[in-house]
Amino acid sequence: MCGILGVVDRKGVSAESLSMMRDAMVHRGPDDAGIWLNSDRTVGLAHRRLSIIDLSHAGRQPMADSDGKIRITFNGEIYNFQTLKKELGEIGYSFRSNTDTEVIMNAYHEWGTDCLQKLNGMFAFGLYDENRRVLFLARDRLGKKPLYYSASSSERRFSFASEIKAMLKDQSISRDLDLQALNHYFTFGFVPDDLSIFRSVRKLPPAHAMIYHTESGKKDIWRYWDVPEPSGQIRTEEDLLSELESLLKDAVRLRMISDVPLGAFLSGGVDSSLVVAMMSMVSDRPVKTFSIGFEDSNFNELPYARIVAEHFGTEHTELIVRPDMFSILPDLVRQFDEPFADSSMLPTYYVSKVTREKVTVALSGDGGDEIFGGYNLYRAGLFDYYMRLMLPEPVRKGIAWSSRFLPEKGLARVKSQLSKLQYTQYESLIERCSEAYFKTSYRTMLLSSEARASLNSRFLEPEGSRLGLFENRHDGIIDRMSYVDLHTYLPNDILVKVDRASMLASLEVRAPLLDYRIAEFSFRNVPDNMKIHGSTAKYLLKRLAGKILPQTLDINRKWGFAVPVADWFRGPLSTGIRDTLLGTKNVYFDQACIRRLLDEHSQGRDHSLRLFSLLVYYLWEREYLKV
């Protein structure tokens, strides 16, 4: 895993500036560093290297092709590079290294931008084609690797990087806040594609590519992949199970190719346990596994991880995490570059740190929920769907109106469910997606009148941002909700969390369940009732787990990588969060709303994720806007 960077400037690119920007990402690549400038110094590429494949100097980047007309800076892994290398060799290409980087260059030389269809991996790269005078940028299908860019049409200056902090070393890039990005952040807990928290910086979305014409400054951006529509073909459960097992085993096998020590995250949940099981099947030595837990037994999954570790005879390492949030959170906020409100970034960093002490690469179980229907949200969506089929609209609205009279104590969940009957299917989905953070009613109270006035009609855009994705599918409700998450929550929350937290520890993380072939298989072939079957979520994946995992493991529990933030904010961290949120006035927020959230939380109402999102923002603002 690496950090990549590039700058195009018709006035000239400074090698000193390029090096300074590059070295802001030293954690992404502590093993080596390089820069390259073209002959007239209008194009510069830079690279920080974490050596994984071909540890020799032949793997150094930016790398040139055989005739020196193509240069590339590349972050990620191409898992099928050996197959592609053989195919290109049969065509007549020769290779000077055993790297996947060189394979990408030769694939581009042979197939042009269509080479992206050949790549199975996680990647972001910038390739300069001197003959065409273009930069070719691309990001992997599911968005595992980040790619930011900034373009100035007036000066024809363009830059890209793995992290915003590297780009901000360029003083010409403004730090002006994008208020609409902030609006999205407080709605869902992250800044989505293609926005960034800075108006001058944007993200290249997953499964997208760009051609930047270095002489004209013109940008051509396109989507090169998406999951397919359902085939409509009826297949037996056993047939689907057999294909899933074959695909997952091959995805794991490919991700175990490494020239450095390799292990796996193990939570004891279905997804990570299946990955460890497959690793044990294809490995000739014990798999190294790593788990973390909490002193609070309600959030501690270590006993489940031990069951799996003992069953497969892994070399197992554990760590107990204690609530020292204020000692590590500023570093994480700095690493994430943008406000990011998923508190599980804390355990993700800790498990990455303990894992990096023994290995350089780790496999994870990320992707199972989005691909195979694992979230409680999906079951709630089915509830909404069938209630709308069974109950006429006046009856539903009457039940929703009456639910307001139910007491909060002991019936809060029921009251919340019934209140959603007043909404359309889509409105209910948005309500469920945003209720943990600042849905419309809470955001109206939080944002100052000045901020709301500046947003004007755009205030409700976050709620509508998913509608196009939801309506883009014409099949089952689970498929439609999964499709939305695949393009929003997965790349902007889950994968951002894993990439930034692991890279802070200089650890590469690979996710076999996010092999694009598995995603295509699920969306094309697996019907809704094989994803949620009765009350069982991830039904097909759990059928596979039932065949392979120890019978003593409870595969039906659903915790997620949760953190006891609610208790921490009422206990050991209560003073710290109150001092931070009330200690400085902010032009964007209503201070009375923040005080109310703190008071209600201390009295027992759960505002932990809202408070955490505010805490992260205040720390981010202090770091990046120097308030």
**558-601 confidence digits (pLDDT tens):** 555 667 888 889 988 899 999 999 988 889 999 999 999 999 99
**Domain residue limits at 621:** 564-627
| Residue 477 located in a structural domain | no
Q: Can the peptide bond before residue 62 be classed as cis, meaning omega within 30 degrees of 0?
A: yes
One domain for residues 259 and 216: no
Q: Domain for residue 280, yes or no? A: yes
What does the pLDDT read at residue 165? 96
CATH number at residue 19: 3.60.20.10
Say yes or no: 157 and 10 in one domain: yes
pLDDT confidence of residue 54: 57
Q: 211 with 324, same domain?
A: no
Q: Which residues contact 4 (CB under 8 A, 6 or more apart)?
A: 45, 46, 47, 48, 73, 74, 75, 124, 125, 126, 147, 160, 161, 162
Tell which residue, 590, 525, 613, 529, has the closest CA to residue 244. 525
- Claim to verify: residue 531 and residue 573 sit in the same structural domain: no
Residues 179 and 122 in one domain: yes
Query: Is residue 95 one of the residues assigned to a domain?
Result: yes
132 and 257 share a domain?
no
Q: Could you write out the DSSP letters of every residue in 13-31?
A: --HHHHHHHHHTTGGG-BS
What's the mean per-residue pLDDT of the chain?
91
593 annotated active-site: no
Range with lowest mean pLDDT among 71-85, 291-305, 522-536: 291-305
Helix (H, G, I), strand (E, B) or coil at 342: coil
Question: What pLDDT, on the 0 to 100 scale, is given for residue 470?
Answer: 81
Coil, helix or strand at residue 421: helix
The residues facing 159 across adjacent strands are 7, 150
**Final residue belonging to a domain, choices 223, 254, 275:** 223
Decide: 308 and 271 in contact? Cβ < 8 Å.
no
Cα 9 to Cα 432: distance, rounded to the nearest angstrom: 46
Q: Which of 2, 115, 433, 593 is catalytic?
A: 2
In a domain, residue 459? The reply is no
* Sequence letter at residue 216: S
Residue whose structure tokens are 């910086």:
201
The model's pTM is: 0.93
Per-residue pLDDT, averaged over 64-81, amounts to 95
Q: Note whether 93 and 198 are same-domain residues.
A: yes
**Do 191 and 269 fall into the same domain?**
no
pLDDT band at 299 (very low <50, low <70, confident <90, very high): low
Same domain, 251 and 209: no
Looking at 322-397, which runs of residues are DSSP E strands?
361-363
CATH of the domain at 270: 3.40.50.620
Domain contains 152: yes
Q: Please say whether the dihedral angle defined by the alpha carbons of residues 210, 211, 212 and 218, taken in this order, is positive or negative.
A: negative
pLDDT in tens, 387-411: 777 888 888 888 878 887 787 766 7
- Residue 420 falls inside a structural domain: no
Looking at per-residue confidence, does 561 or 285 come out higher? 285
How many domains would you assign to the chain? 3
| 45/193 same-domain check | yes
What amino acid occupies position 20? M
Matching residue, tokens 């292990």: 263
pLDDT computed for residue 184 by the predictor? 96
pLDDT on residue 559:
57
User: Are the C-beta atoms of residues 22 and 73 closer than 8 Å to each other?
Assistant: no
Evaluate whether residue 296 is within a structural domain: yes
Residue range 317-362, pLDDT digits in tens: 998 877 577 788 999 999 999 999 999 999 899 999 999 999 999 9
- Indicate whether 295 pLDDT > 90: no
Are 79 and 8 contained in the same domain?
A: yes
Q: Which of 171, 201, 223 is the last residue of a domain?
A: 223
Tell whether 140 and 241 lie within a shared domain: no
Residue 495 CB burial class (10 angstroms; 0-12, 13-18, ≥19): buried
The domain boundary residue, chosen from 513, 548, 583: 548
In a domain, 473, yes or no: no
